[in-house]
Amino acid sequence: MPFLARPLIWQNSIRGKTEFELKNLLKPLISSLLSFRAISQRVYPLRFPVFKYFQLYYLKFFLLSFLLLSTAVHAQDSSELDEDPYLDPAAANLFLQPTTRAEANQAYMFGISYGLNPIILLAPAISIGIYWDPLVLGLEISDSESLGIWEKERRENLGEARLSGETQFIKWFYGDNFYLLAARESRSIKLWSRTYNRTSGKSLFDMFVETTVASLGAGYLRFGDIGFFSIDIVRYNLVKNHTVKIVEYYETWSELSGNRDALDQNIKDRSNKWIKTINAPTGFVVTFGVYF
């Protein structure tokens, strides 16, 4: 026998014995599994674990329904008990069913308003209104001569001037405290002793700017025991109508320069600036006051 043939014969013999032993070991196991599968298919139906969860779910549902039913029956029985003789029915009813906004459906309102408005900013407004649920009808009056603040700053920046305004408004509540607002505002700025002095000429005049603004907005109002607090979040201007009146005392532009084009342009630029300022929208006007 050749020298290299012996290892091959030895390897084949070991491989054959191994395969034989493995077949003898797996044959009973496979036959048992096949027989168990056949029995299970013939005798036992298929079962899914999810069915167990559905059974638990229905059990919990029935328990919860029973608890709710018992609670409703107990509440109905307790409502039939005699009322407490030491309990004031009117006070209890007021506590359990309070009014939505104020103690009464009608009231008179008086307050002071201040916020981002070209007139109110330098002259807080007096607010007068009538509350008639769900509406508030009112009037705001502002005048820098009577209620002006920042007097020193106003004179330093505007000179001799007077700012005044009047606002007629209606507020309609669409919730407990929020409301929609429609307003008509009349604003006025009077500027005295305006000058335009250059080497080409001099002038002195007064300027009166008036505007009428219609606006829509929204806000928040809350009543307290005797007072109220409101804030106009925004008033968006829709219609604007303005006029500018100039009263001249003298001008030397026509004589020295031969025309007054520069003076007229200066008056026009100033007028446009003040019209833009006075027509500015209103926002965050806060009102503190009392009602009765």
Residues 6+ apart with CB under 8 A from 127: 109, 110, 111, 112, 113, 138, 139, 140, 287, 289
Note the CATH number of domain 106-291.
2.40.160
Asked if residue 147 lies in contact with residue 126, where contact means CB atoms within 8 angstroms, the answer is yes
| Position 99 pLDDT exceeds 90 | no
| Position 182 pLDDT exceeds 80 | yes
Over range 241-266, report the average pLDDT.
93
So what's the pLDDT on residue 175?
A: 81
| Position 239 pLDDT exceeds 60 | yes
Residue 256 φ/ψ, nearest 5 degrees = -80, -40
Over range 265-288, report the average pLDDT.
93
So what's the pLDDT on residue 37?
A: 43
Query: Against a cut of 0.85, is the pTM above it?
Result: no
Distances (CA, A) of 155 to 152, 159, 160, 162: 5, 4, 6, 10
Q: What type of residue is 59?
A: L
Q: Which residue has the tokens 């009765």?
A: 292
Tokens of 138: 């009112």
